[in-house]
Structure 1
Amino acid sequence: MHQQFTNITLISNNSQRVKQFGELLRGSNNKVKPYSFDEALQKALFDERQDLVVLDCPSSPDFDYRQLDPMRNQQALKHVPFIFILNAKQDTLKKQIYHNPQNKILIDPIDKFSFVSSITNAIYTSQLERRLLLYKELVEGEKKLISNMDQLLELNRLQQFSDQKQIFDFIKGEYCRKLELTLAVESVFYLSFYPDRYLIDFTIDENQKHVSDDKRQIQVKDSIIWQQLLENFPYIFEADSLSDPFIQKLEEALGFNIAGLLFVPISILHEVKGAVILVNKLYRNEFTENDLAFTLISSQKIVYHLEYLYLRSDKNEQISVQSPQSAERSQMINEWKLFKHIMNSVYFGAIVFNEDFQIRYMNKAAREILQISAEPEQVLSLSDTMSEYEFNQMKEKLADAESGLPLVRQELHIKGKENEEDYYIGYSIYPFNIDSEAKQYTLIFSEISQTKRIQAEIIRMDRMASLGILSAGIAHEIRNPLAGIKAMAQTLEEDLEEGSAHSEYVERILRQVNRLDELLKAFFSYTNPHRPEPKPMQVHKIIKNVMPLFERRIKYEDIVIEQSYAQDLYEIFVDENQIEQVFINFFLNAFDAVGKSGKIEITAKNAHRPQPIVDRRNKLSAPLSNRYIRISIKDSGVGIPPGVKEKIFDPFFTTKSNGTGLGLSIVYQIIREHGGQVEVYSEMGRGTEFVVLLPAYVNPFESAEFVEPTDS
């Protein structure tokens, strides 16, 4: 074994005193090197590690302590004790020396025993301080390891594993090897636990192929290990506990002595599956609390993913249950099955997630409502269930309400997947914390698109009914005096001489009267709509009849019109004149929105799933057939502000200076009278789309496709 010397540097300009002190310092383990003051100060760095420096100051009367600064400031010498031998006249030097606690002073003449005692104490104290410093550096290093755990052990790879076997293979292989390197451990093993036989079986790496199976399997019933496994509790073996039967059998199997062992169980839902053991630290005998914390935290991160996969698995009831707490575990499994059955039977969505938005549980309804088609193992985060914009909206609301949870009765607009339409969900978020674990939350939600649509329809109908009654009364009261004003103005016009200066005033009166009369006709058209006289019609022919009215505007403003009609498009059962009025209103609004060089897209296709329609008694009306035509008129305009979009079908609401506010109200009324629906989708800066559902013509002889109206 390599002998460790104590390196002592003796600095003196007097060869006789060098010999004298050299004799006193000589020992079996002491290695003394003499230097003159000039040599030492010029060199300022010694070739070997120094344990002690002795300076014979009386041999250099002109010595100034400040000359030592370059040497004293070296990192290698900062904690090395310096012993200064002074005479009684060197008071100034004595005051300088006392500033550094590593300096010791001996006054010449020196007593032999005092000198040897001071030297021995200084060396011993220096060695203790060095060990303490080394220990502090190791502890600080281990603390830093914990903060970089995921990178050092590559725990981020756990996200890639889709079953428990892959994770256990990772534990037995790469995790154990990375743990060895990170914590400077001689060996790390994974132990499989078989409670019914009181056995553990440790995984053998390439270097222990010679270990036989009978030595690899160790009985633990009489060991501390057994109790630690039952209680799922970690343990550090040191000192007297190293005489445990398990340690002795493990030494026999491995073929080397065990000076320290760290034991951490691996448990899934209170069932112990095995343990990770760390054998022998490389740079010291015992394991520290930092080693325990690092191993425990990293193993719990792995356990979290194991439990997550277990709970997500539809086959978890097939996993074997062998445990000392088998009855308790069996009850827990049955309760979990019952919970899962209940949660998959409800109509609302439920998602449990942690503070990092990682999903711990999601029921069947949640997948259906959010239109999730990906496999469960691919949906790991809440951000995987919706778009980035939708996720950020929910995330911001949760952050704003963190101190005032639960967050209840919130709404979120969800963009439909692929060809599906957009929809709304209503949701609430409740805090869900277990003991000292990280924060968790429960998201409860359901689709509320139909509810919002029905509520909007009821409010709109009530408003229209009230305004309709009011407008009818006002129109009746205005029309009679208006007729008298018009008659008197016409009489006055006839009595005026040709070229009279007053003729212009009379013409203005008549124009305004006629304008009011047109407005009244619109009122009556809204309050007393003509009953539709439907007949089978083709959509593209109705639009073809309307388009010539806008030819000049299309050409002058360079507007692009794109039309697309499905080849198997049904006929619609409508009143041609009224539906033409509907399209005229839509096109007028679209032309105003796009301006010059804009674009309007017209598409029509068959639709089989219209949204429910309510009447003024808040009842669902029966559809005329199970077949509808979906007609879309989409423009590239500026879009409609959200606050305006909710009011565009209200009577007398307009954003145009010369509008009456009845155009879209009448459109809405006509479509409702035909048993259809109209919706508007708009986004600022991206345009507006009006979607109309109109009943298709059903040939009564096509009994196979005809569905009798129902009340449901």
Structure 2
Amino acid sequence: MAQEALNSWDFFRSVLDGIQDMIKILDRDYKIIYANRSAQEYLGKPLEELIGRHCYQEYHQSPLPPEHCVTMDTYQTGAPQNSAFTTLEPDGLERHWEIATFPLKDDEGNVKYIIEIVKDITERKILRYQLVEAERLASLGHLAAGIAHELRNPLVAIGSITQLLDEDTDENDPRKGDIQTLIREIKRLDKFIHEFLDFSAPKGPHPSLCDLADLIEDTLVLLDKQISSNKIKIIKKFPKNVPKLLLDKDQIKQVFLNIIVNAMEAMPDGGELGITVTAAPPGVYDQSTKDIKGKSLSSAKGVVIEFRDTGCGIPPDKLKKIFDPFFSYGKKGTGLGLSICHKIVQSHLGRIEVESRVNQGTRVNIWLPV
């Protein structure tokens, strides 16, 4: 019975359908004679509609094979080939792929069919980049943190002396305005150094059991005047079934504060900011391996906090740099705010993602584990 199963095409097809990589079998005319379930899902067509179609028509929407085609190389050389390529998906995001081709030969050694295996390596590329970037930033951080400390000490003295000078200067003195400008710039520089030190040497979280709705409300109270003066309408949705989480209250409030301030800056003429807290079902926003359609395969549970504004949005080329240190799309800020947010969320074993469309608005999703 076991041998009959192994000899059955249905058995092998079920095995291939269980593999997350896209697998296709092509004839010598580059026509698809088989595609597993992952390939069917990615292409959005059932097997019946793919059979007989040229692979380059389905994958590249082209009437001819691409100039550098590993499948063509395998037909010509009779040897396995592999390569990597990048595609721009309809959502504007880049995806990275690895392709390997293997020949199926007849009794005379001629290539009759090609097995083509395509693997999504986007997560691997991102993790590799993050590792290299983390090592680079760690080296720079140690050096720069020392410099920042050395700058901060004389800055405190300069600030104190300038404050005394301001107090001793008459309101009608023409130098009064210059002194107050100097005080503002000293405070701005001190804030930058403070943020930089937080980024280069972040403190670990000190968690306690927290109600997310309460943390958001506390943050909104701090920004109440700015929200009112900027004509921002806050729309809140906090259901009662959201579990409490172990969080560092101050750090998570800092994350919320940064995101809300960014949203207000994106709506200089007013607008709406929606804040929603939901208990995430199993698998949502988990950082584990994803299948070809981007669905998470984990059974972890968590909570999702969504911030959605109606602001100016962020162009795609800027969006992919949004968490880079010192990158600032707005006119204000040091460019460290979202980098610090990213680090804080990661230290809580969570995930933060940003989606944006120009002239439509931005959505920030934060996933935190229960």
User: Same-fold call, TM > 0.5?
Assistant: yes
Match of 1:666 in 2: 340
* Residue identity in the other structure for 1:653: F
Work out which of the residue numbers 675, 680, 704 in structure 1 matches 2:349.
675
Q: Which has the larger radius of gyration?
A: 1
Higher relative contact order (CA 8 A, sep 6+): 2
Partner-residue secondary structure (3-state), 2:135: helix
Match of 1:65 in 2: none
Work out which of the residue numbers 690, 693, 696 in structure 1 matches 2:367.
693
By percentage of residues, which structure has more helix? 1
Residue 370 in structure 1 maps to residue 370 in structure 2:
no
* Residue identity in the other structure for 2:139: S
Contact 1:450 1:612 in 2 (8 A): no
Contact 2:304 2:368 in 1 (8 A): yes
With over 3 angstroms needed to count, the CA separation of the structure-2 counterparts of 1:499 and 1:557, relative to structure 1, is closer
Equivalent positions of 1:232-243 (< 5 A) are none
Contact 2:230 2:264 in 1 (8 A): no
Work out which of the residue numbers 280, 294, 299 in structure 2 matches 1:606.
280
Contact 1:450 1:611 in 2 (8 A): no
Partner-residue secondary structure (3-state), 2:150: helix
Work out which of the residue numbers 49, 52, 60 in structure 2 matches 1:395.
60
Residue 409 in structure 1 maps to residue 74 in structure 2:
no
Once residues 165 and 226 of structure 2 are traced to their aligned partners in structure 1, the CA distance between those partners, rounded to angstroms, is 39
Shift of 1:674: 1.8
Match of 1:529 in 2: 202
* Residue identity in the other structure for 1:370: Y
Work out which of the residue numbers 568, 571, 584 in structure 1 matches 2:241.
568
RMSD: 4.5
Shift of 1:575: 1.9
Structure 1 length-normalised TM: 0.40
Shift of 1:648: 1.7
Contact 1:358 1:380 in 2 (8 A): yes
With over 3 angstroms needed to count, the CA separation of the structure-2 counterparts of 1:336 and 1:495, relative to structure 1, is closer
Shift of 1:574: 0.9
Contact 1:425 1:448 in 2 (8 A): yes
User: Which is worse superposed, 541-550 or 644-653?
Assistant: 541-550
Work out which of the residue numbers 180, 187, 191 in structure 2 matches 1:514.
187
Match of 2:251 in 1: 578
With over 3 angstroms needed to count, the CA separation of the structure-2 counterparts of 1:677 and 1:464, relative to structure 1, is farther
Residue 470 in structure 1 maps to residue 143 in structure 2:
yes
With over 3 angstroms needed to count, the CA separation of the structure-2 counterparts of 1:590 and 1:399, relative to structure 1, is farther
CA deviations on 1:319-339 (whole Å, 9 max, x unpaired) are xxxxxxxxxxxxxx9697897
Contact 2:102 2:116 in 1 (8 A): no
Once residues 262 and 19 of structure 2 are traced to their aligned partners in structure 1, the CA distance between those partners, rounded to angstroms, is 44
Shift of 1:582: 0.8
Once residues 250 and 150 of structure 2 are traced to their aligned partners in structure 1, the CA distance between those partners, rounded to angstroms, is 30
Shift of 1:518: 2.2
Shift of 1:583: 1.0
Structure 2 length-normalised TM: 0.71
Shift of 1:472: 0.8
Once residues 381 and 560 of structure 1 are traced to their aligned partners in structure 2, the CA distance between those partners, rounded to angstroms, is 55
With over 3 angstroms needed to count, the CA separation of the structure-2 counterparts of 1:551 and 1:338, relative to structure 1, is closer
Once residues 692 and 511 of structure 1 are traced to their aligned partners in structure 2, the CA distance between those partners, rounded to angstroms, is 33
Once residues 666 and 410 of structure 1 are traced to their aligned partners in structure 2, the CA distance between those partners, rounded to angstroms, is 32
Tell me the matched-pair count: 339
Once residues 579 and 652 of structure 1 are traced to their aligned partners in structure 2, the CA distance between those partners, rounded to angstroms, is 21
Work out which of the residue numbers 534, 543, 556 in structure 1 matches 2:216.
543
Shift of 1:669: 1.9
With over 3 angstroms needed to count, the CA separation of the structure-2 counterparts of 1:335 and 1:477, relative to structure 1, is same
Match of 1:268 in 2: none
Once residues 356 and 635 of structure 1 are traced to their aligned partners in structure 2, the CA distance between those partners, rounded to angstroms, is 51
Shift of 1:445: 1.5
Once residues 359 and 666 of structure 1 are traced to their aligned partners in structure 2, the CA distance between those partners, rounded to angstroms, is 48
CA deviations on 1:437-460 (whole Å, 9 max, x unpaired) are xxx986531233432442343244
With over 3 angstroms needed to count, the CA separation of the structure-2 counterparts of 1:378 and 1:671, relative to structure 1, is same
* Residue identity in the other structure for 1:411: T
With over 3 angstroms needed to count, the CA separation of the structure-2 counterparts of 1:544 and 1:382, relative to structure 1, is farther
* Residue identity in the other structure for 2:336: L
With over 3 angstroms needed to count, the CA separation of the structure-2 counterparts of 1:456 and 1:591, relative to structure 1, is farther
* Residue identity in the other structure for 1:426: W
Shift of 1:667: 0.9
Shift of 1:530: 3.7
Once residues 601 and 633 of structure 1 are traced to their aligned partners in structure 2, the CA distance between those partners, rounded to angstroms, is 6
CA deviations on 1:550-585 (whole Å, 9 max, x unpaired) are 455555555454433455322221122221211111
Q: Percent identity?
A: 28
Equivalent positions of 1:256-405 (< 5 A) are 343=16, 347-352=20-25, 359-367=32-40, 370=42, 376-377=47-48, 394-396=59-61, 402-405=66-69
Work out which of the residue numbers 300, 314, 319 in structure 2 matches 1:645.
319
CA deviations on 1:299-324 (whole Å, 9 max, x unpaired) are xxxxxxxxxxxxxxxxxx99xxxxxx
Partner-residue secondary structure (3-state), 2:329: coil
Once residues 120 and 63 of structure 2 are traced to their aligned partners in structure 1, the CA distance between those partners, rounded to angstroms, is 23
